[in-house]
Amino acid sequence: MSRFNVGYLVGQGAKGLFRNGVLSVAAIAVLMACLVVLGSFSGLLYNININLDKIALLNEIVVIVDYDCDDAKVSEIEDTILALDNIESITFTSKEEALEQEKNRYGEYSDVLDLLDKDNPLPDIFRVRYASLAGVSTLVYELEHIDGVKKVSNRSDIASDIENVKNGVMRVFIGFLAVLFVVSVFIIINAIRATVQSRSKEITVMRYVGATNRFMMTPFWVEGILIGLFASILAFGIQWYLYNYIEVMISNGYKWLYIVPFADIYLKVLIAFVGIGVLTGLFGSLISLRKFSRK
Amino acid sequence: MIEFENVRMVYPNGTEALSDVSLKIDEGEFVFIVGASGAGKSTLLHLLLREEKATDGTIRVGDYDLSTIRNRKIPYYRRKLGVVFQDFKLFDHKTVYENVSFAMRAIGAPSSLIRVRVPAILKSVDLSAKYKSFPTELSGGEQQRVSFARAIANNPDIIIADEPTANIDPEMTFEMMNLLLKFNKLGKTVIVITHERGLVNYLKKRVITLDKGRIVDDTKGGLANESL
């Protein structure tokens, strides 16, 4: 393509956008909605992940050792635990340390626990942190079956519930998004087809005078790209407003939840929106021109 | 040179539009192709423009073999042709100047060349004074001259005029023919598809007559067949 025609072809593409005002606006609106939904769900999942990391303390299993175990046996249990998969770290708390911690907790009333010094009822325990939630049930099973272990207690249920919510959100998100993208591509295809129809005489003359397919199709590609570009810029503005609104709401009402500031992610969001918007617009153009380009 | 060799064209619905057509048109010739409706004139035009591919036989135009030409080469082949349409195919929203320059823009000609060439072409068809007019402000003859100007904008070797006088009044018909003759005198090939007997008889050029998809007459300096 000659460099002399770049401006001309981009101008023709922009004209096409205005020529089919209603269809173009519809295509931009649907694609914009699609991007806002994509951005909102992605933001939600991203923040769930961040908060899951923050509640990593829940990823802890307490292994209670049989009261009768001597130091050698406790050491053997520690070695066995360390040899298991999915172990991030373990911390040992002896029965004496546990009693001391309890006394500290009781503060000025700790005297009541002095009676227990001679006959400490507290067990030795291991606090085990696991690497991945996925293998927790196996790990718990293995821990329960170590000789000398009396009981295994874990809080993986809460982490698991959050993980389940995340997976559910993901499924709804993918389904919803797929439908929206199909609808927006369909509308873009029709917008471009309407332009092709309205320019059929021009296309015929161009073909007869020897215009290349690329020259004839570039304005339609430009039109698709512009639809994607406008949709992504509008979606970014809406996303910014929505995110900030939710950020303020959460930081005021749910202080225990952490939400990543939009300022930290705005560039990634903008690049993703423009990339996806432009590619979707271009994809719609290519599909609507498939038949035409074969001529 | 344009050469058709045993060309046969059958459409997907089974209609045989051309049967065993062989002809040669030399460079710089002026040829009328005549025939009644359904004789195969339009099919011949479509084959020449490589809008359709012949079912059998070979068609050669200059260095191009239209039976084997690759799709991406077709636009470059078409730049050797200039087409004058029966319905002019002018853009009502563009001025005369823009209509003519459109043909040059479509093949990526630089603006500097367009600015020099378009006024010269408009002068040659006597439309310099109307370069700012829109087609709806022109007479039928003037519109056809714009269509002709657009056809020669890219300096083609061959002009194909499809019923060029069908939509203009009789006095404009000869004006249009004069333009085609003028172009022919520059050594360019002119093919006129028509069913106007008076015009064909007046110019006494080569006449190829088609009937039911076959060439039934090919006379140099001749008259239109009585069946026309």
Q: Mutation test of the interface with chain B: which of A209, A218, A295, choosing the one with the most B Cβ atoms within 10 A?
A: A209
Q: Does B100 touch chain A (CB under 8 A)?
A: no
Higher pLDDT, A115 or B76: B76
Mind listing the pLDDT tens digit for each residue in B83-115? Answer: 998 888 898 888 999 999 989 988 888 889 999
Give exposure, B172-187, as e/b (b: 16+ Cβ within 10 Å).
bbebbbebbeebbeee
* Shortest CA gap A239–chain B (Å): 41
Between chains, do B111 and A2 touch, taking CB under 8 Å as contact? Answer: no
Minimum CA–CA partner of A218 in chain B:
B106
Residues B213, B21: contact at Cβ < 8 Å?
A: yes
pLDDT band of residue B225 (cuts 50, 70, 90) is: low
Q: What is the pLDDT of residues A138-175, one digit of tens each?
A: 888 898 899 989 988 876 666 667 777 777 877 887 78
Q: Do A209 and B150 touch (CB under 8 A)?
A: yes
Grade residue B223 by pLDDT with cuts at 50, 70 and 90: low
- Chains A and B form CB pairs within 8 A to the count of 60
Domains and CATH numbers, chain A: 6-54+160-294 (no CATH), 67-147 (3.30.70)
DSSP B189: E
Please indicate, yes or no, whether the overall pTM of this predicted structure exceeds 0.80. no
Taking CB atoms and an 8 Å cutoff, what residues of chain A touch B153? 209
Give the C-alpha separation, A31 to A235, whole Å.
Answer: 9
Confidence check: pLDDT of B224 > 60: no
* Pairwise CB contact (< 8 Å): A202 & B91: yes
Measure CB to CB from residue B106 to each of A4, A201, A215 and give the nearest one. Answer: A215
Q: What is the pLDDT of residue B57?
A: 95
On chain A, the residues whose CB falls within 8 A of the CB of B150 are: 205, 209
Q: Pick the residue from chain A with its C-alpha nearest to B45.
A: A208
Subunit contact B103:A202, Cβ cutoff 8 A: no
By C-alpha distance, the chain B residue nearest A198 is B91
As a 3-state breakdown, chain B gives helix, strand, coil percent values, each rounded to 5, of 35, 25, 40
Q: B31: exposed, middle or buried (C-beta count within 10 Å: 0-12, 13-18, 19+)?
A: buried
Residue B194 CB partners (closer than 8 Å, separation 6+) = B32, B33, B34, B161, B163, B164, B165, B166, B200
Give strand pairing partners of B3. B24, B60
- Is pLDDT larger for residue B21 or for residue B166? B21
Q: Give the pLDDT score at B54.
A: 94
Report the alpha-carbon distance of residue A185 to residue A28 in Å, rounded: 10
Q: How many angstroms from the chain centroid is the CA of residue A238?
A: 19
pLDDT tens for each residue of A79-100: 999 998 888 889 999 888 888 8
Mean pLDDT (10-residue bins), chain A, 295 residues = 68 77 82 87 82 66 88 90 89 87 75 74 88 82 90 72 76 79 78 75 84 84 89 94 89 78 90 92 82 58
DSSP 8-state class, residue A127: E
Mean pLDDT of the B122-144 span:
92
Per-residue pLDDT band for B192 (boundaries 50, 70, 90) equals very high
**What is residue A54's predicted lDDT score, i.e. its pLDDT?**
65
